[in-house]
Amino acid sequence: MAGESSLRKGRKAPYALIGPGMLWLILFFLVPMWTLLRIALSEKPNAFLPDYELTWRWANFSDAISRFQPELIRSFTYAGVATILCILIGYPLAYFVAFKAGRFRALLLGLIMVPFFTSFLIRTIAWQTILGQDGPALGVLKALSLVSVTDAIGLTSNGAFLNTPQAVIGGLTYNFVAFMILPIYVSLEKIDPRLMEAARDLYSTPAAAFRKVVLPLSLPGVFAGTLLTFIPAAGDYINAELLGNVKTGMIGSQISKLFLKESNYPEAAALSFIFMAIITVGVLVYAKILGTEELSA
């Protein structure tokens, strides 16, 4: 009998362990999601009151898509470009820290992290000041009479940094690049340097050794970094609000406006759902293309 009861206890233990986590998910994920879905299917009877009533109006979704299509496309485009820039900046940096930095490795990792002790909002406001019409960046360009050059290469438009897509994408890149560097660094750091020697020994040039051995083994880091960068960047509205203008609005700004200014809860909820659905499908497709095989290795 004693054995049986301990066996039963043994079976219950895993459920007991995931219990708190499950409760958390039900309370703070499933319940809000269900509430959000009900709001998304509601109607707003009075344009001037925040009230809504559940009428199962599925057309809310199609309405949101047709009304905010430009912002949706813009969000994913800006986030996509920022993510690619993060890979281009972050991968070489992570590679350097992992393989070439020697005793400065910890110092460099610290320096990458230091800006993130300041709030996201404050850092973005700082960029607003730096890039502003009377800010130091434009001041230097003007002093050197380079504004026409930067206009031509698209770094500025009409002699200004701010209120451009470039500024928003730059802000997103700056704010999220650390989330790209760290996972790539972790995956590179795990690679046994002898694998590179083995590739060199087996007739690969340094470039071929990188392409055939280091790059494939670091893809899980790139995958993780992309998710950590792309998803929050696509949903971000601080950068679009502070560094952009009406023409650079992203989906986050629209949701916040619908919710806080127009008090149009059903449409805000529907738009949130569409955004989540696109992200989820995108991530699954991305994992299928890049992730699964490498991640299982």
Partner 1 sequence: MTVSEKDNATPSLSQRRAVIEIDNVSKVFGDYVAVEHANFTIHEGEFFSMLGPSGCGKTTTLRMIAGFETPTTGAIRLEGSDVSRVPPHKRDVNTVFQQYALFPHMTVWDNIAYGPRAKKLDKAETARRVDEMLEVVRLGDFAKRKPTQLSGGQQQRVALARALVNYPKALLLDEPLGALDLKLRQGMQLELKRIQREVGITFIFVTHDQEEALTMSDRIAVMNAGRVEQIGTPREIYDRPSNVFVAGFIGQANLWPATVKGHKPNATTVEVAGRTLDVSQDDSALGVGDSGTFMVRPERMYVEQQLSDESRWTVVGTVAEMVFQGPVVRYELVLPDGAHAVAHVPARREGLPVPGDTVHASWADDAGVLLADPHNASPATSSNTSSNTSPTATEPEPKETEQ
Among 26, 192, 285, 292, binds partner 1 (CB under 8 A): 192
Of the ranges 7-15, 153-161, 212-220, 221-229, which one interacts with partner 1 (CB under 8 A)? Answer: 212-220
List of E strands, 116-232: none
Nearer Cβ to partner 1 (125/217): 217
Tokens 């700004």 belong to which residue? 253
Among 160, 200, 232, 245, binds partner 1 (CB under 8 A): 200
Residue 195 beta carbon to partner 1: minimum distance, rounded to whole angstroms: 5
Q: Which residues within the stretch 31-70 sit at the binding site for partner 1 (CB under 8 A)?
A: none
Nearer Cβ to partner 1 (15/203): 203
Strand partners, 54: 42
Decide: is 290 part of the binding site for partner 1 (CB under 8 A): no
The pair of three-digit structure tokens given for residue 125, joined into one six-digit string = 């406001």
**Closest among 74, 90, 83 to 231, alpha carbons compared:** 83
Sign of the C-alpha dihedral computed for residues 240, 241, 247 and 249 taken in this order: positive
Sign of the C-alpha dihedral computed for residues 162, 163, 164 and 170 taken in this order: positive
Residue 105 beta carbon to partner 1: minimum distance, rounded to whole angstroms: 18
**Closest among 73, 90, 74 to 226, alpha carbons compared:** 90
Of the ranges 49-57, 93-101, 201-209, 226-234, which one interacts with partner 1 (CB under 8 A)? Answer: 201-209
Tokens 């299917």 belong to which residue? 41
Among 64, 181, 213, 224, binds partner 1 (CB under 8 A): 213
**Closest among 68, 69, 60, 58 to 266, alpha carbons compared:** 60
Residue 191 beta carbon to partner 1: minimum distance, rounded to whole angstroms: 9
Nearer Cβ to partner 1 (139/206): 206
Separation of first and last alpha carbons in the chain: 44
- Residues of this chain that interact with partner 1 (CB under 8 A) are 192, 194-195, 197-205, 208, 212-213, 216-217, 294, 297
